[in-house]
Amino acid sequence: MLNWENIFATRSSRMRASEIRELLKLLDRPEIISFAGGIPDPALFPDDEFKAAYADIFTGPAVRSALQYSVSEGYKPLREWLVGQMAALGIPCTVDNVFIVSGSQQGLDYLGKLFLSPKDTALVTWPTYLGALQAFNAYEPTYDQLSPNGNRTPEAYRATAEEAGGKVKFAYLSVDFANPTGETVDREGREKVIELADELDIAIIEDAAYQSLRYNGEAIPPILALEIAHKGDIEATRTIYCGSFSKTLAPGLRVGFIVANAPIIRKLVLMKQAADLHSSTINQMAIHLVAERGFDAQVAKIKEVYSQRRDCMLAALARHMPKGVTWTKPEGGMFIWITLPEGMDGAKLLARSLETAKVAFVPGQAFFADGSGANTFRVSFSCANDEMIEEGIGRLGRLIADEIGG
């Protein structure tokens, strides 16, 4: 039998199945209460708005261009709309600074390909978004821990990268309601990341997938906005802002975007041309119409629902979790991060939970580039109603209490 492992590129050995993608299969099992998938509630999708948008496209003069090849940069009216959105965030830019990708995950893959040579170092938080690790792993980097409010020196980061055989190339982080922790980086931490990047002469990849989903607390300017305020113009910045419509409008349409200085955008366009030419034109057109007609109203609708579910889950955790278990208290997003007592294992707990409690969650270890974090796990409240949350967290609390007691 042909041994494909002898033929595959060495980078393929670093590719692993996503634990989250695998756990999503549990959503089809009616007996399981799932807090695993960090996905939007489909009941909140703007179905009617998309029906109207596609109907308008197919009955209007733009239908043929909607079905035709298009420019790699992305649908210009959508990019123009995004220019206005960025300005509201304190990020003045032009359409030349906006690039459309097939979901922000494709953007992360492109950025890994653009910056990382084998043995180069990517700075990531401990834990970090699993999808980012999957995207970067193919380019054979090493990882070092990024602590926005820590006090490691640029020289220490540089020395560690050199020992690994490469250079530090970028710092990747999600500053608002991060996946998986739900935590937010404060303004001081964002400023420190800019200072560190300037000292190391590296890029900053700012993953803003959840930026729109703030439920309480004061909004903090994105890293890119802070850098523009310091340096005067987006063309002088090193931050690459990655956004998405997946958490607000429709993940299935796979429309994301990157905002950065023009030289970065030009390189990304070349990658797009080599990969898939351009993102789906008709989907970009539909996203543009729905966003233009009611983006703020859609965001307000989902924020009202998700904030109530977050509050419900936080209250259930306070009622049902035994002593020694701690959790984050996010101001937005979709996730709560739970830390078990030392010595407990989230993956083993999941196996027992699926067998006895019938509750799914995501073990935390996969989110750590160094394989630590065994005593952590992630829960999502986005697709669970109050009854599911109360019952599911209650079952988990009893299971954990039994484990601690045992």
Q: Which two tokens stand for residue 224?
A: 């890119």
Instruction: State residue 239 phi and psi, 5-degree precision.
Output: -85, 135
* Yes or no: domain 4-46+297-405 corresponds to CATH 3.90.1150.10: yes
- Asked if 228 and 241 count as a contact pair (C-beta separation under 8 A), the reply is no
At residue 3 the predicted structure's pLDDT band, cuts being 50, 70 and 90, is: confident
**How many other CB atoms sit within 10 Å of the CB of residue 373?**
20
- Spatial distance between the Cα atoms of 328 and 314, rounded to a whole number of angstroms: 9
DSSP bridge partners of 359: 33
Tell me: the pLDDT tens digits for 70-116?
999 999 999 999 999 999 999 999 999 999 999 999 999 999 999 99
Tell me: the pLDDT tens digits for 118-134?
999 999 999 999 999 99
Residue 327 has pLDDT above 90, yes or no: yes
Tell me: the pLDDT tens digits for 37-67?
889 999 999 999 999 999 999 998 889 999 9
At residue 8 the predicted structure's pLDDT band, cuts being 50, 70 and 90, is: confident
Q: Which two tokens stand for residue 11?
A: 């980078």
Query: Where in the chain are the domains?
Result: 4-46+297-405, 48-294
Task: Please state the separation of Cα 358 from the chain's center in Å.
Answer: 27
Residue 406 has pLDDT above 60, yes or no: no
- Asked if 69 and 277 count as a contact pair (C-beta separation under 8 A), the reply is yes
User: Residue 240's closest CA among 290, 183, 287, 202?
Assistant: 202
Q: Which fold has domain 48-294?
A: Aspartate Aminotransferase; domain 2 (3.40.640)
Residue 80, burial from CB neighbour count under 10 angstroms (0-12, 13-18, 19+):
middle
- Looking at residue 21, its pLDDT comes to 54
DSSP bridge partners of 206: 173, 241
Q: What is the pTM of this model?
A: 0.94
Q: Where are the beta strands (DSSP E) in 139-294?
A: 142-145, 168-173, 203-207, 239-244, 256-259
